[in-house]
Amino acid sequence: MKHIDIANILQDKTLLGSKVTVCGWVRTARDSAAVAFLEVTDGSSFSRLQVVVDKSKFELDPECTKCGASIAATGVVVKAFKGEGAELNAESVTLLGKCPGDYPIQKKRTTLEFLRTIPHLRLRTNTFSAVFRVRSVAAQAIHRFFHENRFYYVHTPLITASDCEGAGEMFRVTTQPWNAKYESEAAYYKDDFFGQKAGLSVSGQLEGEVAAMAFGKIYTFGPSFRAENSNTTRHLAEFWHVEPEIVFAELPEVMELAEAMIKYVVRAVLEECPDEMDFFEKFVEPGLKEKLANIVESKFAVLEYTEAIELLKKADENFQFPVEWGCDLQTEHERYLTEKVFKKPVFVTNYPKEIKSFYMKQNADGKTVAATDLLVPGIGEIIGGSEREADPDKLLAAMQARGMDIAAYRQYLDLRKFGTAPHGGFGLGFDRFVMYVTGMENIRDVVLFPRTVNNIM
Ligand code: 4AD
């Protein structure tokens, strides 16, 4: 259908006086005997276009004034009666699809909980339109950032035979019938599609390292899967994962990269989504824009794990989980550090080796590894990363100490045998990042169809 985007009409002043056709959905309508005002959106901009219908000029189908109806309107672009923008003086309005009165997305605001029960329709609200525009702009900015910095974009497999790091329970991938009977587990898997046990990848890192050891700087941006039973506001069973890997680099360069990437993407969102950010500021998180402007301007804090434990022990807080050197930081601890102590993003570094993965670079103290998590206010951890152990003997020892199946990691160990080099990388939980920049408090509200425990609508 020949038509132009509403965004063009709203932004391009040269269109004033032109005759155009727009298509879209009616969000609200004010209708009287003489005139009707239809607020129309086509998704091309957060703001809507007002279509003004002088009823003396043509007969308006009353179905065109129903919330949710889809229409095509032809008319002349004129300066808006109020404000700076433009509106359309309609010469004809055609109904494309009617929308009956039981349409659940009505003008009045409703709860996010209710909207989660209609994931196929909730995207039509202002909140979700703003979230998904920011999500799209942020994803594009991530690709731009890496492209401008000469990273290869690689696609790592989603089906894998190795549990990258025991990062979480793996979903199994199988074609075996539910009642297949075998003598042993080994015989069951041998008869399965891949001839061995397979699952959905929890991270593209191990394959990312393979690519980095050839190309120097790579990143992946795709889904990761975790079958952990965490029914929280920040866990998904299927989430989007940005994982860069850089060679000839140590932990400080990994942290520099993470900080530069976050700042680049936040800046892009602030610049490219002003209307959406005004909306979040007004209705979701007052102070959001200032928070994000500060992110771009200020240096992120850096804190050793050992110092973090000292701060937490001294804290005048009633933590649910006790704090001792050696414990993993819980969300309540992470949020205390980033929200109450530093009031900005914080890299926590050099964690005890027992609570981190086998591949992390072992520090000279014999107790810690060169790992880092980036914690941000309102959420806690959004990035987990590390320098990788590049020494083949130390890596092998760490794997043996964990009782891992060495044969399954032959390729990974080869990377240390043939031209090993210092390298490292991180994983950004993209959905958590979208929460952070929009102020949305539940990860279920920043993905199209959230997959969580007991939920696959
Ligand atoms: O800290 P994680 O487990 O690190 C890794 O997977 C490394 N292999 C990354 C790397 O070094 N290449 O996960 C990284 C990030 C977390 O900080 C979090 O933001 C996100 O992935 N994440 C989740 N997001 C939503 N739902 C879940 N269940 C998540 N699990 C991790």
Q: 302 alpha carbon to ligand 1 midpoint, in Å?
A: 20
Q: 342 alpha carbon to ligand 1 midpoint, in Å?
A: 23
Residue with the two structure tokens 């299927």? 238
| Nearby residues of 226 by Cβ (< 8 Å), 6 or more positions away | 167, 168, 169, 202, 235, 236, 237, 239
In DSSP notation, 264-293 reads: HHHHHHHHH-HHHHHHHHHHT-TTHHHHHH
* Right CATH for 6-103 from 2.20.25.90, 3.40.190.10, 2.30.110.10, 2.40.50.140: 2.40.50.140
209 within ligand 1 shell (Cβ under 6 A): no
425 within ligand 1 shell (Cβ under 6 A): yes
Give me the residue spans of the domains in the chain.
6-103, 122-445
CA-168 nearest atom, ligand 1: 3
Residue with CA closest to ligand 1 atom 6: 203
Residue with CA closest to ligand 1 atom 27: 235
* Tokens (6 digits) for 355: 């609570």
In DSSP notation, 390-407 reads: --HHHHHHHHHHTT--GG
Do residues 224 and 430 make contact, with C-beta atoms less than 8 angstroms apart?
A: no
Reported in sequence order, the residue ranges of 191-284 that DSSP labels E, i.e. its strands, are: 199-200, 217-225, 238-247
360 within ligand 1 shell (Cβ under 6 A): no
Residue with CA closest to ligand 1 atom 4: 384
CA-427 nearest atom, ligand 1: 9
Q: 205 alpha carbon to ligand 1 midpoint, in Å?
A: 10
Q: What is the pTM of this model?
A: 0.96
The pLDDT of residue 103:
95
Best probe residue, ligand 1, of 209, 217, 235, 361 (max atoms within 8 Å of C-beta): 235
Best probe residue, ligand 1, of 164, 234, 253, 338 (max atoms within 8 Å of C-beta): 234
Residue 167 CB-density burial (10 A; 0-12 exposed, 13-18 middle, 19+ buried): middle
Query: Would you give the DSSP letter of residue 338?
Result: I
* Tokens (6 digits) for 328: 């993993």
Cα(47)–Cα(293) distance, integer angstroms: 23
Q: 122-445: CATH homologous superfamily?
A: Bira Bifunctional Protein; Domain 2 (3.30.930.10)
Q: 388 alpha carbon to ligand 1 midpoint, in Å?
A: 16
Q: What is the pLDDT along the chain (457 residues), one digit of tens a residue?
A: 899 999 999 999 999 999 999 999 999 999 999 999 999 999 999 999 999 999 999 999 999 999 999 999 999 999 998 888 899 999 999 999 999 999 999 877 789 999 999 999 999 999 999 999 999 999 999 999 999 999 999 999 999 987 655 555 899 999 999 998 999 999 999 999 999 999 999 999 999 999 999 999 999 999 999 998 889 999 999 999 999 999 999 999 999 999 999 999 999 999 999 999 999 999 999 999 999 999 999 999 999 999 999 999 999 999 999 999 999 999 999 999 999 999 999 999 999 999 999 999 999 999 999 999 999 999 999 999 999 999 999 999 999 999 998 998 999 999 999 999 999 999 999 999 999 999 999 999 999 999 999 999 8
Q: What are the C-alpha distances in Å from 279 to residues 7, 131, 273?
A: 17, 10, 10
Residue with CA closest to ligand 1 atom 5: 427
Q: Are 6-103 and 122-445 in the same CATH fold?
A: no
| Nearby residues of 37 by Cβ (< 8 Å), 6 or more positions away | 29, 30, 31, 50, 51, 52, 53
382 within ligand 1 shell (Cβ under 6 A): yes
444 within ligand 1 shell (Cβ under 6 A): no
Query: Would you give the DSSP letter of residue 362?
Result: B
The pLDDT of residue 168:
58
Q: 85 alpha carbon to ligand 1 midpoint, in Å?
A: 43
